Structure 1
């Protein structure tokens, strides 16, 4: 090669083939965008899932509850013993407590609160308070709280806010109550409540006004719900014990020192709500460490130094974080399967693009080598001309990924896009250097039928086989619920790779077998197509690898998505037992079933009487269900939950009622007639059948009998069947205009199913999974196109020559289609078979509960096992064959339009 070129190599090559350069730029741009968007998308849904998990947890579980002794003023210059409880001193101490919270945990100061409150319920039993309501003869009890920032979280409804500056010796204070408390306890501005004092003299609390919470469900109020809404509390857990009112009194900030001499063991407290917007999934370990430090580590020691030696910190935030971690660890391996498959197919397509470019320039590179060009020199020039196109395209793809996918880290996206750029730049030079490592003046035939695998290739294939077997064994043994690594997540990809290598070895055999009888046929199209298919380049393993990997990933992914949908449907059914259910603790109103039956979309209504907590002979509890045998049998047939026959339920066995029971109840009652006590009366039953579940109580042990044999027959539950239920009309029919605590509840199956995907962690992971599978399918189609384009010039020239010898357009189209079909059919059948095998092999180790459900104990048992989805096997396979035939037919049509003269040029060696 000359040391001085007439024109720069790179510019000359780009100007010579601008179409190829533009196609490469588009391919690299798209691949770099997907590679950069994937890790950012995963980071995004994991971050949103963590914030949702903390924000959706009950505030009393997520807040940090700090409690300590009330401070004593030790300053001899200040005679006020309650000086430490004055607003400024309390705020200063609170700021010090917030500073002691270890990073990365941060406080949401807008929903946090601090102050002084009574740790025990204070009884208002003074004769002066006889006007307070006593529903069952017991005086009310109060939580007295001097809470910070009350004016920021409540709106004054009547009266005024507390303004009196009380101290520990005044025995008087001012407070406000919420409007609901005022209605329940019949207090109003001007009312005075007396509570016991520590020294014997009662503390008189004057009610100055009523307030309404601005955000009653937020942490400020929900941490102590009694401050917002009064509660009827039983004296003990026994069901027949009397109840008393328990309500909250909100003292003014200047009245806090008055609690020093009050009863109820006053304590200093801080309810610190975590700042969820500042959380991200990479901080998960740090957040757990911070919570542990606050509960019993260095952070707690620091708080005790600031507040007092008896300070405690309690929270359920660590359980919330552990629940999120468990769900994420079960989701990540499933998503990684699709990620590995798509990455493999994309990498193969980039290599195929380099191989296509190297094949198109075989003559040019052979001539350069024959004239003394060195391999490093040729490789460097090819890498430079590719880098000029690939590197800017990859940078642009990364930039688009950063702009369109917000919230993720830049580092992983940068590494992924850089890997795409590196593969794109090296594919052409490495392929060219491997093909032209020796100087040749002519290229040898490299037919797929004639090629013989080398020993190195055999060793590599056996190594991959061992890796695939190890990955499948590890996944089946450990399950995705136990976490994953790269080898386990790549199991479906490795299965596809092994299948591709096996099919490439077996592919020549059917071609040889089919070519012999085809040669004896009268027509020439069949024999020519088979001969042409056998003369395909021997490097056809890459397109076959891309197709099989994509088809395996698509089949596996489709099966995963089908299993997820099935698990959600089953979990929703296990929750409601029908398309909708209406429950009540009391008997339902007469005629309600008829009114419900007239609601739009309702097809059938089944009434049932359910008695919960019935004691069995063993001491265990179960639900006893009474229903009409015929109606309930139809319901079980519709839902598929424990299908029964009406005759079995309506049969009598002497004095005993026929009963259908869950396995545990059946084992407890035995085979003979047994007597149980149901709602105050005795019932003799005999178990005649056993079912795992039943629609009335699908998640608990049960005993099902004919409602005619029950002493109380009024239904407490309605099970509704129907499609497209009008949920609003159904609730309007069931719920009275003025709802009470004992009003019937309505559950809609469709709404329950939607709630199962409420977590951004699950919906985001499912979206990424589906996008990865779709991208893999797109790359598989592109791989097929690249494989067909590699031989397109030669097929066009062949078709032109045959046209000059009398081949018709129809025969030419048939020839190209039949030539393309063997490899496409092989890939389709192999992909469908490999996808089925991968699903069956890996199903025992794939846990869909985390991806499908909201990870609650009530729905975890409904998780569906991974099963093969026929549509996910057939549709991609059919698309591959249709695409191959369509491309071949298009090429035949285009070649016939161009004419033979254009294709047959003097000196053309195609």
Structure 2
């Protein structure tokens, strides 16, 4: 009946509720979205060498047979362990499988006596031998071809093929067909490759893989020398057992940055702690090292390292610095929304005061009056609140849905009960006539002034706190 008699007022109320519900529901999603964006930006700025998770293990114990040690370094064995290691990564940490990889590398640089390599101060260059899986999928061949190896490679194989990146080739004057004598190995360069995603985790977790480094020895020495990487075929890994480079197996895990969420930071830190020194590390060691033995304790075991937890800690500190200002904004937004809805209800109650007084005078009970007002307000407010919530979900993608739903429900609930409660407070006593309208019956409230001053002080305090912490 009310919709037919006063469609304009009903439409105005619906518009007010829809707009308020939309803005209120969008606020928590917007906060989540900006927090997630900040975390992802912090992870991107930290670079893959810090956020990457590296699992590494020494070669098998010398007490094992040569054949068993060689088989442990072959691609099939490493690939199986890579699958098991990935399975032990606790949620909510998600891995970027395209940028994650595994392989075998030397841990000590091998001196190269070849005189044609550059020597800035007379010291010979050094190289690192790396047999990393997935080279063909992460690089395009600029010249020559990719290195090859077969299943016949053993620890007695001395002749190897390798590729180098364009940056390494340019800095070390390496060409296709160049022969490099690295310790007991004779390595022939068969190709020069260009990384497809140079800044990706595949190439940048260890930047020496794509970019050679000019190393300066500690003072007072002024000597400098180049260090570059020779990229071997994965099947050539068993040959590294015979060299002086002290090879190690490694599994390089790249987190998927776009899946990081600020609300998951505590769980992420717990997952990283489990990988570095917890149950997940124990499971990883069981998959790679097997049951703990005296020999495994003597020759070391699998370890996991990452600086991702430091990145998360730094982000947490930044978020704590901004939290007071966000809290003030949240309470201010909620207060404004509540005031607007209550004022709208108060104006409606004042406009219909004569109607309510007449109903009470004709015998309408207070419960019946409030129930009627609640019903007619609900018919308008609930669909409008749902529409505002849907608009907020579409306008602000990402963020938690639950918080937005509760915000819209709160707006709708306040709207539904404000008018009935206002009417109940004013018309709890039956009156036979209304008050005069030619004088001011309502004075300005001091409580409103106190509330406004309180919010002002809180906002000023939050801004001052931020400035003292160095936040602009």
- Structure 1: segments with no counterpart, 5+ residues: 1-11, 197-201, 447-531, 554-834, 851-859, 865-910
* Alpha-carbon distance in structure 2 between the residues aligned to 1:266 and 1:253: 13
C-alpha deviations, 1:705-760, integer Å up to 9, x for none? xxxxxxxxxxxxxxxxxxxxxxxxxxxxxxxxxxxxxxxxxxxxxxxxxxxxxxxx
> Pick from 183, 201, 221: which aligns with 2:170?
183
2:263 is the alignment partner of 1:282:
yes
**Per the alignment, in what secondary structure is the counterpart of residue 197 of structure 2?**
coil
**Per the alignment, in what secondary structure is the counterpart of residue 264 of structure 2?**
helix
* Alpha-carbon distance in structure 1 between the residues aligned to 2:228 and 2:442: 83
TM-score of the superposed pair, with normalisation by structure 1? 0.48
Q: 1:123 to 1:73 in 2, by over 3 A?
A: closer
Written as runs of structure 1 = structure 2, the 5 A alignment for 1:528-543 is 535-538=439-442, 540-541=444-445
2:155 is the alignment partner of 1:193:
no
Q: Which residue matches 1:724?
A: none
Q: Which residue matches 1:13?
A: 2
CA RMSD of aligned residues (A): 2.5
Q: Which residue matches 2:79?
A: 91
Q: Which residue matches 1:213?
A: 195
Q: Which residue matches 1:509?
A: none
Q: Which residue matches 1:111?
A: 99
Q: 1:413 to 1:839 in 2, by over 3 A?
A: closer
Q: Which residue matches 2:149?
A: 164
* Alpha-carbon distance in structure 2 between the residues aligned to 1:329 and 1:102: 26
Q: Which residue matches 2:314?
A: 323
2:379 is the alignment partner of 1:398:
no
Q: Which residue matches 2:465?
A: 846
Conserved in 2, the CA contact under 8 Å of 1:73 and 1:80? no
* Alpha-carbon distance in structure 2 between the residues aligned to 1:133 and 1:188: 13
- How many Å apart are 1:164 and its aligned residue? 2.4
Conserved in 1, the CA contact under 8 Å of 2:54 and 2:251? yes
Q: Which residue matches 2:50?
A: 61
**Per the alignment, in what secondary structure is the counterpart of residue 334 of structure 1?**
helix
- Structure 2: segments with no counterpart, 5+ residues: 290-295
- How many Å apart are 1:536 and its aligned residue? 2.8
Conserved in 2, the CA contact under 8 Å of 1:164 and 1:255? yes
Conserved in 1, the CA contact under 8 Å of 2:381 and 2:412? yes
* Alpha-carbon distance in structure 2 between the residues aligned to 1:148 and 1:388: 64
- How many Å apart are 1:339 and its aligned residue? 1.9
Q: Which residue matches 1:123?
A: 111
Conserved in 2, the CA contact under 8 Å of 1:72 and 1:82? no
**Per the alignment, in what secondary structure is the counterpart of residue 180 of structure 2?**
strand
- How many Å apart are 1:84 and its aligned residue? 2.5
> Pick from 120, 140, 149: which aligns with 1:135?
120
> Pick from 328, 340, 348: which aligns with 1:337?
328
* Alpha-carbon distance in structure 1 between the residues aligned to 2:53 and 2:26: 36
Conserved in 1, the CA contact under 8 Å of 2:328 and 2:458? no
Q: Which residue matches 1:294?
A: 275
**Per the alignment, in what secondary structure is the counterpart of residue 847 of structure 1?**
helix
Conserved in 2, the CA contact under 8 Å of 1:295 and 1:312? yes
* Alpha-carbon distance in structure 2 between the residues aligned to 1:267 and 1:246: 18
- How many Å apart are 1:445 and its aligned residue? 5.2
2:86 is the alignment partner of 1:101:
no
> Pick from 359, 368, 371: which aligns with 1:368?
359
* Alpha-carbon distance in structure 2 between the residues aligned to 1:838 and 1:222: 46
* Alpha-carbon distance in structure 1 between the residues aligned to 2:328 and 2:73: 59
- How many Å apart are 1:132 and its aligned residue? 2.3
Conserved in 2, the CA contact under 8 Å of 1:50 and 1:280? yes
Conserved in 1, the CA contact under 8 Å of 2:377 and 2:416? yes
- How many Å apart are 1:324 and its aligned residue? 0.8
Q: Which residue matches 2:415?
A: 424
Written as runs of structure 1 = structure 2, the 5 A alignment for 1:220-619 is 220-236=202-218, 238=219, 240-308=221-289, 309=296, 310-444=301-435, 535-538=439-442, 540-541=444-445, 545=448, 549=452
Written as runs of structure 1 = structure 2, the 5 A alignment for 1:590-739 is none
Conserved in 1, the CA contact under 8 Å of 2:119 and 2:225? yes
**Per the alignment, in what secondary structure is the counterpart of residue 94 of structure 2?**
coil
Conserved in 2, the CA contact under 8 Å of 1:386 and 1:425? yes
Written as runs of structure 1 = structure 2, the 5 A alignment for 1:685-834 is none
- How many Å apart are 1:195 and its aligned residue? 2.1
* Alpha-carbon distance in structure 2 between the residues aligned to 1:28 and 1:22: 10
Q: Which residue matches 2:293?
A: none
Runs of 4+ in 1 over 3 A off after TM superposition: 71-76, 78-81, 539-542, 544-549, 837-840
Conserved in 2, the CA contact under 8 Å of 1:60 and 1:224? yes
**Per the alignment, in what secondary structure is the counterpart of residue 90 of structure 2?**
coil
* Alpha-carbon distance in structure 2 between the residues aligned to 1:118 and 1:152: 22
* Alpha-carbon distance in structure 2 between the residues aligned to 1:246 and 1:168: 24
* Alpha-carbon distance in structure 1 between the residues aligned to 2:63 and 2:6: 88
- How many Å apart are 1:85 and its aligned residue? 2.2
Q: Which residue matches 1:26?
A: 15
Q: 1:193 to 1:331 in 2, by over 3 A?
A: same
* Alpha-carbon distance in structure 2 between the residues aligned to 1:34 and 1:392: 16
The total of aligned residue pairs comes to 460
C-alpha deviations, 1:321-353, integer Å up to 9, x for none? 001111111112201212211211221111111
Q: 1:843 to 1:376 in 2, by over 3 A?
A: closer
* Alpha-carbon distance in structure 2 between the residues aligned to 1:546 and 1:124: 80
**Per the alignment, in what secondary structure is the counterpart of residue 82 of structure 1?**
helix
C-alpha deviations, 1:74-107, integer Å up to 9, x for none? 999x957422222222211111111111111121
* Alpha-carbon distance in structure 2 between the residues aligned to 1:61 and 1:849: 29
Conserved in 2, the CA contact under 8 Å of 1:73 and 1:84? no
Q: 1:245 to 1:71 in 2, by over 3 A?
A: same
* Alpha-carbon distance in structure 2 between the residues aligned to 1:406 and 1:335: 20
Conserved in 2, the CA contact under 8 Å of 1:345 and 1:546? no
C-alpha deviations, 1:39-74, integer Å up to 9, x for none? 111111111211221122122111112110124699
**Per the alignment, in what secondary structure is the counterpart of residue 307 of structure 1?**
helix
* Alpha-carbon distance in structure 2 between the residues aligned to 1:546 and 1:28: 26
* Alpha-carbon distance in structure 2 between the residues aligned to 1:106 and 1:844: 36
